[in-house]
Amino acid sequence: MIDKPPVEDFATGWDHADAQWVADPYPIWDDLRGRCPVAHTDRYGGGWFPSTHAGVSQIANDTINFTSRTVIINNGRPGEDAMPAPIGVAPPISSDPPFHQIARRLILPAFAPGPINALEPRVRSLCVDLLDRLDGHEVVNGGTEYAQYIPPAVISRMLGFPEADEDLFREFVHIVIGGIDLPEQQRIEEFQPIEEYFTAQIEDHQANPRDDLTSYLLNVEVGGEKLALEHVFGTMILVLIAGIDTSWSAIGASLWHLAKSPHDLERLVNEPELMPFAIEEFLRFYAPVTMARLVKQDMEYLGCPMKEYDWILLGFPAANRDPAAFKDANRFIIDRQENRHLAFGLGIHRCAGSNLARLELRVAIEEFIKRYPRFELADPSAVTWAPGQIRGPRNLPIRILR
Amino acid sequence: MKVSIDAERCQGHGRCFSLAPGLFDFDDLGNGVVIGDGVLSDETLELARLAQANCPEHAIFIEE
Ligand code: HEM
């Protein structure tokens, strides 16, 4: 990490890696929404942060003035280094129209409800196995001993990677997402092992095609032609990165909530029909994902003097707490009936993995509360939150109550 | 009374077919589609309204 002074005023110098933001961003966002709905910073080369539902929606739906070429904020000057739009390094998340739609359509069938629902027994037995291993413990770590293991196992299975490589997987994710504050050169170096691993997997799948996502991507045709290898590679990396920290954060945050809200826990245990509403409220209230855009050209936008290559930090989690869009926005309502939350984004980049993420989250919570109908935080002050654009609890000691 | 989905707006969040599986289904891409002609009874109207109130893209329309 580069040493930076703590932020003094988030309206004029926001930083999503600042300790205060990492620990508890909600009061910061409430404050900004009231006095400066599009905040500015000079950090990371300059950027803007909309905190209202209206502002986030408008930018998410505006692919004319903003590009998705780089969606993770870093210290590199994006205009110079990034692979050009419309394809970008990791299609479709880093792609703009019209190419975006082609890249997205390719992967959607693999993530549609049909194939994803078929994974439910596998996800459930994975959760049950993890809980079996923790049997008899008085304190279990909901982050490092449970939530953390679920998504990598599912994704590596989808991609057709060896099960033994799951630990390696989580490391890769941290290199990419945790490295936001590293100098560009160091980020490139740290990326090396990931590149080597994926290349080896692609070669193995070329030699031995099988029924998995990697072989699907290698064989699928667009306009009579197979995908360029860089496209296959980029999409595999995307699924790895987009599918792990995200779901793990959502599962962890939901457990964290239940551990400190005995009334909600009791209701969920006794009224399983609340589950579909509870899942959406977990996603709204603790939305883990914030994505970035780049400003395409100098312009006046939402009253702000934006410059070419300024960052936009799209605050989906902040939009979810906007009282203009949600009744009692800062209250967690486990059976909230009306919930148009933006946890999975909005518009053409809607999370392609949302069906899978919901499946993982639901089954992980169902199995945990079935095994442990009563639990609490073992040490609230020991809970730590991941910094950066994917936010969730990492260390989460939970005391099981008998 | 009739419910419909604007396919241009739908991005496949999947809220409609999860909340009201009798009224909505999904296509190969996971986007929402109305089952049959979308004609609603008094009972299914409630469900259609629930789906509508949960669609982030405001893609569901009800003609009353
Ligand atoms: C609770 C868990 C998750 C959350 C909250 C989440 C959130 C998001 C958000 C907000 C976006 C929009 C990005 C943007 O507008 O730039 C997105 C895109 C995406 N997500 Fe997720 N995600 C989750 C889990 C997953 C999983 C499990 C996968 C796949 C295995 C996945 C794959 C993708 C892909 C491929 C995209 C890019 C779609 C496109 O650009 O068309 N996500 N996700």
CATH number of the domain bearing residue B49: 3.30.70.20
- Tell me the CA distances in angstroms from B29 to A184, A191, A360, B7, B32, one per residue in order: 37, 32, 20, 12, 9
Which residue intervals of A165-259 are DSSP H helices?
A: 166-178, 184-207, 213-219, 229-259
Taking only the tens place, the pLDDT of each residue in A294-322 is 999 999 999 999 999 999 999 999 999 99
Tell me how far the alpha carbon of residue A246 lies from the centroid of ligand 1, in angstroms.
Answer: 8
CATH annotation of A10-400: 1.10.630.10
**Interface size, chain A vs chain B, as Cβ–Cβ contacts under 8 Å:** 54
Q: Cβ(A247) to ligand 1 under 6 A?
A: yes
Q: Which residue segment(s) compose the domain that B7 sits in?
A: 2-63
Per-residue confidence (pLDDT) for residue A79, from 0 to 100: 53
Taking only the tens place, the pLDDT of each residue in A139-173 is 999 999 999 889 988 988 899 988 888 788 778 76
Looking at this predicted complex, what is its ipTM?
0.97
Of ligand 1's atoms, which has the minimum distance to the CA of residue A290? 10
Q: Cβ(A343) to ligand 1 under 6 A?
A: yes
Indicate which residue's Cα is closest to atom 19 of ligand 1.
A351
Is residue A90 pLDDT above 70, yes or no? yes
Overall size of chain A counted in residues: 402
Number of domains in chain B: 1
Q: How far apart are CA A138 and CA A134, in angstroms?
A: 9
Give the 3-state secondary structure percentages of chain A, helix then strand then coil, rounded to 5: 55, 10, 35
- This prediction has a pTM of 0.94
Mark out chain A residues that contact chain B at CB-CB < 8 A: 105, 108-109, 111-114, 276, 280, 337-342, 344, 346-348, 350, 354-355, 358
Q: Which residue has the higher pLDDT, A224 or A358?
A: A358
A54-80 average pLDDT score: 87
Is residue A400 pLDDT above 70, yes or no? yes
Partner-chain residue, chosen from A346, A347, A354, that has the shortest CB–CB distance to B14: A354
Are A45 and A307 within 8 A, CB to CB? no
